[in-house]
Amino acid sequence: MKTILIIEDDQEMQEFYKDMLQGEQFTVTLASNADEGLKKAKEKNYDLVILDILMEGVTGDRIFALLRKDSRYRNVPVIMASALDEKTYRCFQALGNVSFLEKPFNKGKLFAEIAKRLQPLK
């Protein structure tokens, strides 16, 4: 079973993710802010991270940078999610194994992106 860490400060979005992913082929861990998310990332290795961009305090782009500095997360796929336009974050794609979902999105789009990110790298 694949493990997913979701760092998202909006409780409704947390519930959306949990309802969509829990019990499928995924084990889901939720974190409500950067500190909690980084702590959980250190406690366990995850197969995928879903990361909200716009959060109070430390933003998702900063969390992404901190995760990439950790050797265990250097190549772990990350899906960034935000209400901001995808073009704003296109520069992150150059960093590898990262993609972007523009909110709102549906279950089909979420699962397609997860499947794409969890494909073995070629």
Report yes or no on 122 lying in a domain.
Answer: no
CATH number (domain holding residue 69): 3.40.50.2300
Determine the pLDDT at residue 85: 63
pLDDT for 114 beyond 90: yes
Could you read off the pLDDT of 93-109 as tens digits, one per residue?
555 667 888 888 888 99
Determine the pLDDT at residue 120: 63
Query: C-alpha angle 108/15/82, rounded to 5°?
Result: 65
Could you read off the pLDDT of 39-92 as tens digits, one per residue?
999 999 999 999 998 888 887 888 988 998 999 998 899 999 887 666 665 555
**Mean of pLDDT values over 21-29:** 86
Report yes or no on 76 lying in a domain.
Answer: yes
Q: What gap in Å lies between CA 90 and CA 80, rounded to an integer? A: 11
> What residues make up the domain containing 96?
2-117
Helices 60-69 and 34-43, axial angle in degrees (round to 10): 20
pTM above 0.85, yes or no: yes
For tokens 């999105």, the residue is 105
Domain count, the chain: 1
